[in-house]
A and B are shown apart, each in its own frame.
Chain A
Amino acid sequence: MSDFSGDYIKPELMACCGAREIEDNNVVIVGTGFPTMSANIAKYTHAPNAVLMQESGVIDAQPKRPALSVGDPCLNPGAAMIGGLVDIMGMLLQAGHVDVGFLSGSQVDRFGNINTTVIGPYEAPKTRLPGSGGANPIGCLARKTLIIALHDKRRLAHKVDFITTPGYIDGPGAREKWGMPENTGPHVLITNKAVLRFDKDTKEAYLASYHPGSTIEEIRDNTPWDLKVSDSVHETLPPTEEELRALREKLDPFRMISIYEKKGYV
């Protein structure tokens, strides 16, 4: 039997891509959906000592079903610690103790800046989005930020309408100029077509791997900037049997993840 499974849906592959960026003993801030699934796949495979927490105040929750929000009742019983926002966002994140944060956005640009505030002009919004919440501090302060987005020319942008969460802002040196902690920032951009990483010199996202079924040409056509391609570009490894087992048996027996297919993550 092969280690890799051909029987998976695209959102499951994306969740596995996220999981592979988490190392053992990492402290991870998670929201709902992809972040929780990725972090838990990591925890049940190669990173058993990863510690997951929710910004609302929960550390090492033991939920019996997938949480529907970071304030979900299922996060309370059995957690290692429950405090509040100042404990998680202040004492842990701001103090530099968080390794990985996950973010998604309505718009993401080539420097990994994220917009969750407004589509169109700020004062006369075409669509008013929720705002920052915990996204901005996570993007500023987590050592690595993993970004999940849909891969099309509406969601990916040369420049976002509004920087809710700074990535590399306008390029090399910008984070340092703003006094952000060293060696932090966007680490990877996982889309439904590809995995993009950030060039260490230009800070621009480039193509690292393309998902099975996607082509480099199609990905470049759907990216609004002149997407550079890594010399070592390759096909994204499909989910392993072990990763899928962790996801489906431990976390998501009803395959709620399939709702992402309906949202266009195919």
Chain B
Amino acid sequence: MSKVMSMKEAIAANVRSGDFLFIGGYVCRTPFSAIHEIIRQRITDLTITRSNAADDFDMMIGAGCVKRFIATFLSLGVYGLGRCFRRSLEKGIPRKIELEEYTNLALPMMLMAGAMGMPFVPIRDMAGSDLLKVKSFMGEDKYKLIESPFDGRPTILVPALNPDVGIIHVQQADEFGNAQMWGIGGDCMYGANASKKVIVSCERIVSRETVGKDPSRTIVPGGRVVAVVEEPYGSHPGYTPGFYDADFSFGYLYQQASNTEEGFKAFLDEWVYGMEDRTAYIQHYIQKFGYEAYKKLGAEFDYSFPVSYAY
């Protein structure tokens, strides 16, 4: 059965206020189209998670969608600290989010445990740091320190995570949800598979036969997926390998805008609330910056050598 629908339908049908969301991406393949739709639908009180968050999570925090953040890191990269993130934690604007902090080893392992149906996973980092001293909404369940039953060594256990919904953007998927990606992986595969249901947005919908031509690229099997959205440039201003480059000048524009509360509100009005959907957003981009700027983002073709699965 086809699961293809619009982003508006996918978010309305599957994301509720108060849900726990994994949202993939690592500059690479950030599902910005879905994030904008969540903001537009004024979904609130979300718990969100991912390793290494950036402008995407900063924007959701600034827009007031977020209650809790299971975090490792949030910055705007070359543009410095996340402005909305800082305003939330330093001044409570628009609300003070609750933060539970892990690391880029611990959190992906927690998602891996969730994906594998394990209750927890042992890790070898966080030891001796103040990350163990600060506990927020997870309380005593943030971690457990034990002696390994096998070698007696001090060992930290962290809980598995199973988000209500995982949202990822990939290069291609078929109508059943078999999702294929390539390029920098971050915690996308485990985050999606740890989630109870998965929303996939993709640059292009391909046939089941095309998926079968290179099945090693599939990171989420279709059976786990509840919605497939074809959304070209769905990751802008992030990038999707083989399709388009990161838009660093738009990143600077976001940083400048989000420097102040007023600037951030104006940015949201223009680029999120003022846009009906992703198509309108891309049209607005072209109107504002010109077709040449839009075209310049496009990746050149450099196809890999075909593989053979024949036997």
Interface residues of A (CB under 8 A from B): 32, 54-58, 68-73, 75-77, 82-87, 89-90, 93-94, 117, 122, 125-137, 140-141, 162-166, 169, 174-175, 177-181
Contacts and interface: CB of A to CB of B under 8 A. Distances in A.
Contacts, number: 175
28 contacts: A56-B52, A57-B184, A57-B186, A69-B27, A71-B52, A76-B241, A82-B185, A84-B186, A85-B51, A86-B108, A87-B185, A89-B104, A89-B105, A94-B105, A117-B101, A117-B131, A127-B86, A128-B81, A129-B81, A130-B73, A130-B81, A132-B129, A134-B73, A134-B105, A162-B130, A163-B128, A166-B128, A178-B128
B73 A84 contact: no
A33 to B, nearest CB: 9
A198 B74 CA distance: 30
B73 A133 contact: yes
B126 A140 contact: yes
Interface in B190-204: 190
Interface residues of B, number: 55
B248 A132 contact: no
Contact of B131 (A76, A86, A128, A132): A132
Given A84-B189, A165-B129, 11 more contacts: A71-B27, A71-B52, A73-B27, A85-B105, A85-B186, A132-B72, A132-B101, A132-B104, A136-B126, A140-B125, A166-B127
Contacts of B130: 117, 122, 162-164
A54 B28 CA distance: 14
Contacts of A163: 128-130
B105 to A, nearest CB: 4
A181 B78 CA distance: 33
A180 B128 contact: yes
B20 interface: no
Contacts of B246: 72-73
Contacts of A140: 124-128
A55 B28 contact: no
B154 A178 contact: yes
B183 A76 contact: yes
Contacts of A86: 108-109, 112, 187, 190
Nearest to B99: A131
B155 interface: yes
A71 B28 contact: yes
Contact of A84 (B27, B101, B103, B108): B108
A22 B82 CA distance: 33
B126 A75 contact: no
A179 B109 contact: no
B119 interface: no
